[in-house]
Amino acid sequence: MSQTRHVPVMLQRCLDMLAPALQEPGGVVVDCTLGLGGHSQALLERFPGTRLVALDRDKEALRLSGERLAPFGERATLVHAVYDELPEVLARLGIPKVQGVLFDLGVSSMQLDEADRGFAYAQDAPLDMRMDQTTGLSAAEVLNTYPPGELVRILRAYGEEKQAKRIVSAIVREREKEPFTNSARLVELIRDALPQAAKRTGGNPAKRTFQALRIEVNGELSVLERAIPAAVSSLAVGGRIAVLSYHSLEDRLVKQVFAAGAANTAPPGLPVVPERYQPRLKLLTRGAELPTEEEVTQNRRAAPARLRGAERIREDVA
């Protein structure tokens, strides 16, 4: 599998955002979503005095990135872990605080491009969708075993799918005849289930259902809910975090954590605000930054990206 087609999203902007925290030699930067290692390689090249710790739950991604990052030797430590396990990973490595953290959320190019992983609706494949294929339920098992009400909830909450009830009715009817195994049958069923008007907008009509299944299979939002606060807590004062998200649910979650960290939590009317109420974060982006038109033209997968950043300006005070 070629690594050349993988273009890291908003790479230059991410590097520039993290740069002020990574100028001093001896710092540690964490790539919480290693994937094919594009961002990690760029971090190691741009900040030669920095050590990288990179996490991924996908063993195949770790193997391929390991080859790519091998020239950097001991500067790169790759760990098989989900990104909400960051505190445990750092404790195990004896790293109390880090200077930079990067998240590039969503599905890696490798997972989308390897047909047999079942992430892409454009090609027929087994309905797997697990980022770590050694554990958990596959997308087929979710489709075939979840109660109808739970499937409707998942499609609405994680896919923002307005036609969830209609799609789930068709899924339940079809799974009784024969369990789902492959993506093409699901894509066809969704096309048939949707009214004409719903098919005219928003690209492939299966996109939202596939997104919802992927998030459910990998527990992505619950993992992210734990991971972003954990990453903020792991930052040294002056450390920076950059997060790329690809749909509104992820972006909203990141926005909430950053906004809470940047807020003054003192009761109104205090003449002097005690340390424990002072903001811990300074926001580095006004709202979410978007990729340039030029980047989207060069890399279609950058189109939905939203970048937010924050700097740690104060320790937690108990």
94 neighbors 104 (Cβ within 8 angstroms):
no
* Burial (CB count within 10 angstroms: exposed 0-12, middle 13-18, buried 19+), residue 287: exposed
Any binding-site annotation on 113?
no
Question: Which tokens sit at 309?
Answer: 């950043």
Any binding-site annotation on 111?
yes
Distance CA 26, CA 167 (A): 53
CA quadruple 101, 105, 107, 109: dihedral positive or negative?
Answer: negative
**Dihedral class, residue 203 (left if φ above 0, else alpha if ψ from -120 to 50, else beta):** left
Question: Which tokens sit at 15?
Answer: 């590097």
Any binding-site annotation on 3?
no
Question: Which tokens sit at 233?
Answer: 């807590």
Any binding-site annotation on 99?
no
Question: Which tokens sit at 315?
Answer: 């320790």
Comparing CA positions, the residue from 145, 109, 141 lying closest to residue 127 is 141
Any binding-site annotation on 123?
no
Q: Which residues contact 73 (CB under 8 A, 6 or more apart)?
A: none
- Residue list, annotated binding site: 37-39, 56, 83, 104, 111
User: Which positions make up the binding site for S-adenosyl-L-methionine?
Assistant: 37-39, 56, 83, 104, 111
